[in-house]
Every structure is written in C-alpha cells, then in structure tokens.
Amino acid sequence: MRALLLLATAVRFFGLGVRSFWFDEAFTVVVTRIPLRDSLEAILTLGAYSPFYYLLLRPTTALLGQSEYAYRFLSALFGILTVPLIYRVGSRWFDRRAGLLAALLLAICPFHLLYSQDGRMYTIMAFFSLAAMSQFEQVQRGKRWLPFILYSAVAYLCHYAAIFMIYVQLVLLLPRLRRGRLFRHWFAAQALALLPLAPWLIAYVVENWQQRALGIGWIPRPTLLSPLLTLWNMGSADTDTATAGVLALAALYGAVLASGLLARAESVRTLRWWLLLPILTNLIVSLRQPLYVDRYFMGSLPACILLLVAGILRWQPRWLRWAAAAAVVAVMGWGTARIVSGDPYFAKEDWRQAAAAIDAALEPGDRVVLQDQETLIGVSAYRQQEWPVEVLVPGEEQAALDAALAAHRRVWMVLRSFQESNHRLCKSAPFDPFSEAAAPIQAWLAAHRAETAVVLPLPGVAVVRMEQRVP
C-alpha cells in the first residue's frame, strides 16, 4: 500500500504548477483574492457553488502563496488521501486483494489525476462522498451516525452534485422501509448534514432564482450516448480518440465494467446505484435544463473504480482475470502517462500566456477589448498591471470595435472559445478567432484583416492586436 501511495503522490504533484489556470480556476483565483464580502456576493451571483471551497482556499493560499501550485495543492492532497481510503473500503466490502487493486486503479486513474491537478473542489467532493457512502454501510447497522453526518455535510458543501448521494441512499433503503427506526434516523441525519448548506441555498433562491438558472446555462444538451461516454471518460479521460487500439481497449474496459455491474454481491448493489443513478437522473433532468458535465459525477468515481475491481475478480480462470486487470490498467496508464508527459491534448486554456503577451507589449494609448465578463475573469488571474479595458456587450460588438480602433492606434483583443463539451476535460485546441469566434466578431475581423498586426492562437484563447493603417 505504501508503494501505491507513493505512486499516487508522485503523479499528482509532478507538474502540479506547470499548466495555466483555465477559466474555472481563474474564477477561483479572483474570488479568493478579493475582499471576503465581495467574494461571497460574486459566488452568490453565480449560484452554481457554495462558498465552502473558496473559504477553505484562503488560509491555504495565505500559507503557500498565489501560484498555480498553491491553488491546486488541496486538490492534489485530497486526491492522494482518497487512495488509502478506497483501499480501506475495498478491503472491507470485498477483500484485501480487491482493496489493493482499487487503490492501484485510483492512483493511476487519469480522470482523477486531472482534477487532482485542478484548482477546484472535485477531488475533495470525491473523498468525502466515498467516506460518506462507506459510513452509510455502517449506519445501516445502527453504528456511528456522527461521522456519517459530518462526511455528508462536507460533501454537500463542496458541490451540489454530491446531493445525489441522498437519492442513492434512499433507493437502497426502500427495501428496508419496514425498519421505521432506521429510516427516521437516516432522515434526521440527512437533515443535519444539509443544515450548513441550507442558508446559502435559501439566499440564492431569494436573490437569483428569477434571473438565472443555476448560473450554468453554458452546458450543452447531452445525448443518449452520454452515459457510455461518461463511463469511458472515468477510465480514460479521453472521449475523442478513436483509433483501432483505443476502441479495442474500450471494448475490454466496457466488458470488465459490465461484469462488475452484473455481480450479485450486496456491496455491488450499493455500487451499482451509486454509479448509475446520478448519471441517469442527471440525463433525464438535462432534457429540460442541461446540467450534464462529467466532472459533476466525480463523487461516483469511487463506485466506478470498485465496480471495475468487482468485474476483474469475477473473470475466470486466473489468466483471464490477469488479462482483465491488464486491460483496465492499460486504459488508465495510457491516459496518465499522457498527462504526466505533457500531451497537448490535456493542455488547459492558456490565460497565463494571453495575459503575458499583452503585459509585455502594452504601450501608452493602447486599448484592450475583452470578449465578455468571463474573459475579464480569465485575464485577471494573471495580468501584472492595470489595462485600459473595455468589455464587449452582446449585440454591440462591431460598433464598439469600430469605435475603439478609430480612437486608438493599437487595439488588443482577447477572445475565448465558446465550444463547450459535456465530456472533454480540457479546451486544448488552439483557438482561431477568424473561424471560431462569435459571428459578429468573425465578421468584423474579416473586414479588418488589413489592420491585423498580431494573432496569437492559444489553447481555448486567442490574442489579436489591431493597428490603424497609416495613410
């Protein structure tokens, strides 16, 4: 187990501060740097998260500094701590061999690794979701309710998606409804676990319900294939590559997972609901209001890992079991090796280089035009000086750009990709503003090619400098 813990630590801390912050991380940086009151107001306006994670980061970054490493440290730490925890759960629900295999798979899981190197709350949610679901097995025997309440409360405070655990546990308790005392105790425990989050949810409903739908209207509508892509993403972290070798590995991976889902052990029943219910429920809800993003299911990743282990252990004879294990390790090792080696597919939106390009060349009299408020947040995480900034208003882009170029000899533009995905974990493709920007901006750029002096395409972001033509 020590070797697996060292492996998990090595891959999660290797290159922790190398990649640029992407947009969500930039939001994290901005709201933890501003005064606390302003921070709470900004998070409440967004509405998609509670302030717990951002409050947790303030003392962390006060000790470690303002670097990418500092903002990602907690994610890496809880990513590492989840490895011995899943070993403990796997050993108790199955046996020690299963616990070691589960720890190995989580240690090299690229989906988990990416979010262990991300300045967001997802690995913390996964840790406490695993702890809460493990403790749920104990409380069904009337034991240790207080840890169950605490683990659940922290998971819910990390991310609203963790609340899916309530539905999972309710389904698991339905066959035991005759044990009224157990159900009453569980209901009271969940009420206590939700209590710390309740004031924040009430404040959000009062302030924002009429204006915005959870602040996440950018999410695309999922398809009926989305659950299968999600399950593959949890193993590979890559739903785009479709070579013959990858498809073969995907088929083996799917066969192993299906074998685990079909196992009859009581613990597998828990894992089956824990993995599938959040995904399928979210898919149904998303037919009306899209909320389906793979990282929101991070709390169910431990169930996926343990089901893969259950599937491997079912294969007979022994050589076939080793082949199944090798297939799953190959899938996860393939993704993790690519992340560690710096594969461009796993690059993040490069707000760092975008801001550095302008900081290095900004001259008196220049104007910086930003696509929207999100772009302002992205560059604010990195810019080293004040810029003369103008944020474009939808519907008025061309007029604003014409006015800026008429009034200033040089106009910088920072544009970001609108191409969102339910499954792709990184915006790593260089963004071409002439073909991928919003239609009004594309049209304006096409009409002003002669004034284009600099174009810097970056992952998910582009910097353009326009200069007035000299008569």
Burial class (CB in 10 A: 0-12, 13-18, 19+), 179: middle
125 and 209 inside one domain: yes
323 and 421 inside one domain: no
Instruction: Count the helix, strand and coil residues of the chain and give each as a percent rounded to the nearest 5.
Output: 65, 5, 30
Collect all residues with Cβ–Cβ distance below 8 Å to 357 and sequence separation of at least 6: 456, 463
413 and 439 inside one domain: yes
Which domain-ending residue is among 311, 346, 381? Answer: 346
Write out the DSSP string of 417-430. Answer: -----SS-----SB
Q: 80 vs 74, 86, 104, 107, 451, CA distance in Å? A: 10, 11, 12, 8, 51
181 and 272 inside one domain: yes
Q: Looking at the 3D structure of the chain, how many domains does it have? A: 2
335 and 403 inside one domain: no
Q: Is the peptide bond before 199 cis (omega within 30 degrees of 0)?
A: no
Which domain-ending residue is among 346, 378, 401? Answer: 346
The per-residue pLDDT for range 260-296, each reduced to its tens digit, is: 999 988 889 999 999 999 999 999 999 888 999 999 9
pLDDT at 216: 64
Question: Which of 379, 378, 385 shows the shortest CA–CA distance to 362?
Answer: 385
356 and 325 inside one domain: no
Q: Are strands 410-416 and 367-370 parallel, antiparallel or unpaired?
A: parallel
338 and 371 inside one domain: no
330 and 355 inside one domain: no
355 and 340 inside one domain: no
* The Cα angle at residue 339 between residues 337 and 341, in degrees rounded to 5: 65
387 and 433 inside one domain: yes
467 within 8 A of 458, measured Cβ to Cβ: no
Q: Are strands 367-370 and 389-391 parallel, antiparallel or unpaired?
A: parallel
What residue numbers bound the domain in which 303 lies? 2-346
The pTM of this model reads 0.94
81 within 8 A of 127, measured Cβ to Cβ: yes
Q: 34 vs 21, 72, 379, CA distance in Å? A: 17, 18, 15
Per-residue confidence in pLDDT tens, the chain, 471 aa: 899 999 999 999 999 999 999 999 999 999 999 999 999 988 887 777 899 999 999 999 999 999 999 999 999 999 999 999 999 999 999 999 999 999 999 999 999 999 999 999 999 999 999 999 999 988 988 778 999 999 999 999 999 999 999 999 999 998 877 767 888 899 999 999 999 999 988 887 777 665 554 556 788 999 999 999 999 999 999 999 999 999 999 999 999 999 999 998 888 999 999 999 999 999 999 988 899 999 999 999 999 999 999 999 999 899 999 999 999 999 999 999 999 999 999 999 999 999 999 999 999 999 999 999 999 999 999 999 999 999 999 999 999 999 999 999 999 999 999 888 999 998 888 999 999 999 999 999 999 999 999 999 999 999 999 998 765
